[in-house]
């Protein structure tokens, strides 16, 4: 496919504005490792038991395989359209469109679900410091305020939002990691946990089921690929951010799961704990002030992961607007901030509205996290699988042969397919059955739009994935 490079004056994005650290910040913020550690380990333990660390290890391998495939594009193409533009290089317009819309679904769901988590943990924090904020009205108000702040930061500037996300996530990770170190060495549990090292009581099926939540804990790890037009030296910075963020976060997950399982040997059933970090902090004899600090750190992590997906959505919708797939007005940037403000403002209010409505209906904040994040995760999984399938085709056209490509493609596609299968077979109960149906309904609506474009506006179909892309020789 012939790519049409677009000048900076035409696209309006602030080229070269993002440092390597800020590119990493975007990846970390979208993963939200602090939030994952706070609520996912207990869920994995319910199925994996003493092999929880192994489930995370295998999930990390699958994600690194996906990252390796995405990095092959990032080394050779720098795009504002993220995986949408990448898929076009191997699978043409339909593959690009399917990847783009499922990635938008993924980002939308993760942002809305994480907004619910931010509200939930902020209310916990306020209660812990003696300022109880409870009730439906407060939850709705907090969702609107926090969601509006996240939207403001993304419109204000990519550097600002990335720096805020980096600061919040680094502080949160540091607090949780230090607490876990204290729990491991002074918390009363075994430092060398032979039950975990020997996988005592674990079953292969349980380990595999635990991988599902493990993989879900990485969704969004490749979000830095949407900064191809704005990153400095994107052909190096973005592939490194993708691979190193996945590897580093994977190690953190393995450590966190090991410590939490070891620490709970004397506390009871980790799988039944609603707030394991809080319980571990009390059991380790940590001062009372550490508990609100932990809650505030988790709140910050959730907030960061509201900001990061909105950044990605804005850039994909922006590119689709420029190519005529969506209204052309969405393909314009802010005159001074040079951000895709119209694209962001077209989608971000929907993120806030969904979360606010769910709170108004009395849905618990963590239920919003689980169910709405699951909806978004389905989108990410399809996008990852399609891009992985496009990788060998793209590399063959480039005349590049890499021995690791096909193994990584197989692991990536099989991993995503397995996670999806486990989530829908056997058919889940309410409300997850509604989540699955809502996801399929959304995809069908977007495919109907593709059919309309193909018959009424074929020029838009031909333009899919053909703009907003730089090449190494242009650097």
Using the predicted structure, report yes or no on whether residue 4 has a pLDDT greater than 50.
no
* Residue-level pLDDT at 6: 43
Using the predicted structure, report yes or no on whether residue 473 has a pLDDT greater than 70.
no
Average pLDDT over the chain, rounded to an integer: 88
Of 308, 311, 354, 344, which is closest to residue 116 (Cα–Cα)?
354
* Residue-level pLDDT at 17: 64
Among 96-105, 264-273, 397-406, which stretch is predicted with the lowest mean pLDDT? 264-273
| Dihedral sign for Cα atoms in the order 91, 97, 100, 105 | negative
Percent of the chain whose predicted confidence (pLDDT) is above 70: 93
Query: Are 234 and 227 a contacting pair, CB within 8 Å?
Result: yes
Using the predicted structure, report yes or no on whether residue 10 has a pLDDT greater than 50.
no
Count CB atoms within 10 A of the CB of residue 75: 16
* Residue-level pLDDT at 159: 67
Using the predicted structure, report yes or no on whether residue 109 has a pLDDT greater than 80.
yes
* Residue-level pLDDT at 8: 40
pLDDT confidence tier of residue 293, bands split at 50, 70 and 90? confident
* Residue-level pLDDT at 259: 94
Q: How far apart are CA 79 and CA 66, in angstroms?
A: 18
Instruction: Give residue-wise pLDDT tens across range 375-386.
Output: 999 999 999 999
Q: How far apart are CA 247 and CA 13, in angstroms?
A: 30
Using the predicted structure, report yes or no on whether residue 260 has a pLDDT greater than 90.
yes
* Coil/strand/helix, residue 460: helix
* Residue-level pLDDT at 388: 96
Between residues 351 and 16, which one has the greater pLDDT? 351
pLDDT confidence tier of residue 284, bands split at 50, 70 and 90? confident
- Alpha helix locations (H) across 129-203? 136-156, 158-186, 194-197
* Residue-level pLDDT at 1: 42
* Residue-level pLDDT at 70: 95
Region 125-145: what's the mean pLDDT? 92
* Residue-level pLDDT at 471: 57
Q: How far apart are CA 112 and CA 357, in angstroms?
A: 11
pTM (2 d.p.): 0.89
Buried b (16+ CB within 10 A) or exposed e, 150-172: bbebbbebbbbbbbbbbebbebb
Instruction: Give residue-wise pLDDT tens across range 421-454.
Output: 888 888 989 998 999 999 999 999 999 999 999 9
Q: How far apart are CA 411 and CA 457, in angstroms?
A: 37
Between helix 33-48 and helix 234-263 the angle, nearest 10°, is 50
HSE-CB at 255 with a 13 A cutoff on CA atoms is 18
* Residue-level pLDDT at 133: 82
Q: Which residue has the tokens 């709170």?
A: 359
* Residue-level pLDDT at 12: 52
Instruction: Give residue-wise pLDDT tens across range 347-364.
Output: 999 999 999 999 999 999
Using the predicted structure, report yes or no on whether residue 373 has a pLDDT greater than 70.
yes
pLDDT confidence tier of residue 403, bands split at 50, 70 and 90? very high
Q: How far apart are CA 30 and CA 15, in angstroms?
A: 22
pLDDT confidence tier of residue 30, bands split at 50, 70 and 90? confident
Query: Are 142 and 63 a contacting pair, CB within 8 Å?
Result: no
* Residue-level pLDDT at 169: 78
Using the predicted structure, report yes or no on whether residue 145 has a pLDDT greater than 70.
yes
Instruction: Give residue-wise pLDDT tens across range 176-216.
Output: 899 999 999 887 778 999 999 999 998 888 898 888 889 88
Question: Distances from the Cα of 96 to the Cαs of 85, 91, 112, 448, in angstroms?
Answer: 6, 7, 24, 15
**294 DSSP assignment:** H
Of 51, 59, 423, 418, which is closest to residue 203 (Cα–Cα)?
51
Between residues 29 and 272, which one has the greater pLDDT? 272
pLDDT confidence tier of residue 171, bands split at 50, 70 and 90? confident
Region 321-340: what's the mean pLDDT? 87
Question: Distances from the Cα of 12 to the Cαs of 35, 328, 467, in angstroms?
Answer: 34, 14, 13
């Amino acid at each position: 496919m012939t790519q049409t490079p677009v000048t900076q004056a035409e696209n309006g994005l602030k080229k070269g504005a993002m440092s390597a650290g800020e590119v990493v910040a975007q990846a970390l913020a979208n993963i939200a490792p602090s939030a994952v550690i706070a609520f996912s380990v207990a869920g994995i333990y319910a199925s994996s038991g003493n092999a929880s660390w192994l489930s995370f290890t295998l999930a990390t391998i699958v994600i690194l395989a996906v990252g390796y495939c995405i990095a092959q594009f990032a080394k050779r193409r720098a795009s504002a359209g993220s995986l949408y533009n990448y898929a076009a290089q191997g699978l043409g317009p339909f593959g690009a469109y399917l990847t783009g819309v499922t990635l938008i679904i993924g980002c939308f769901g993760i942002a809305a679900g994480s907004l619910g988590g931010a509200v939930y943990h902020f209310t916990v924090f306020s209660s812990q410091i003696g300022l109880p904020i409870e009730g439906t009205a407060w939850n709705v108000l907090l969702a609107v305020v926090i969601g509006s702040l996240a939207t403001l930061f993304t419109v204000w500037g990519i550097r600002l939002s990335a720096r805020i996300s980096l600061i919040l996530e680094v502080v949160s990770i540091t607090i949780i990691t230090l607490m876990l170190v204290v729990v491991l060495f002074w918390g009363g549990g075994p430092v060398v946990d032979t039950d975990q090292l020997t996988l005592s009581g674990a079953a292969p099926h349980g380990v595999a089921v635990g991988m599902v939540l493990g993989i879900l804990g990485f969704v969004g790890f490749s979000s830095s690929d949407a900064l191809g037009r704005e990153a400095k030296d994107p052909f190096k910075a973005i592939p490194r951010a993708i691979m190193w963020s996945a590897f580093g976060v994977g190690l953190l997950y393995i450590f966190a799961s090991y410590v939490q399982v070891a620490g709970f040997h004397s506390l009871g059933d980790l799988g039944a704990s609603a707030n394991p970090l809080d319980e571990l902090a009390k059991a380790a004899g940590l001062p009372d002030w550490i508990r609100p600090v932990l809650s505030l750190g988790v709140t910050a992590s959730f907030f960061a992961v509201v900001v990061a997906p909105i950044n990605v959505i804005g850039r994909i919708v922006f590119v689709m607007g420029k190519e005529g797939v969506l209204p052309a007005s969405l393909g314009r940037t802010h005159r001074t901030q040079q951000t895709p403000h119209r694209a962001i403002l077209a989608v971000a209010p929907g993120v806030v509205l969904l979360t606010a409505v769910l709170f108004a209906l009395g849905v618990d904040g963590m239920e919003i996290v689980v169910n709405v994040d699951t909806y978004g995760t389905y989108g990410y999984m399809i996008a990852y699988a399609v891009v992985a399938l496009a990788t060998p085709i793209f590399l063959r056209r480039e005349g590049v042969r890499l021995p690791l490509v096909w193994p990584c493609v197989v692991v990536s596609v099989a991993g995503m397919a397995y996670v999806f299968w486990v989530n829908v077979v056997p058919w889940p109960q309410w409300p997850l059955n509604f989540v699955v149906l809502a996801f399929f309904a959304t995809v069908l609506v977007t495919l109907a739009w593709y059919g309309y474009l193909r018959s009424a506006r074929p020029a838009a179909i031909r333009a899919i994935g053909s703009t907003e892309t730089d090449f190494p020789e242009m650097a």
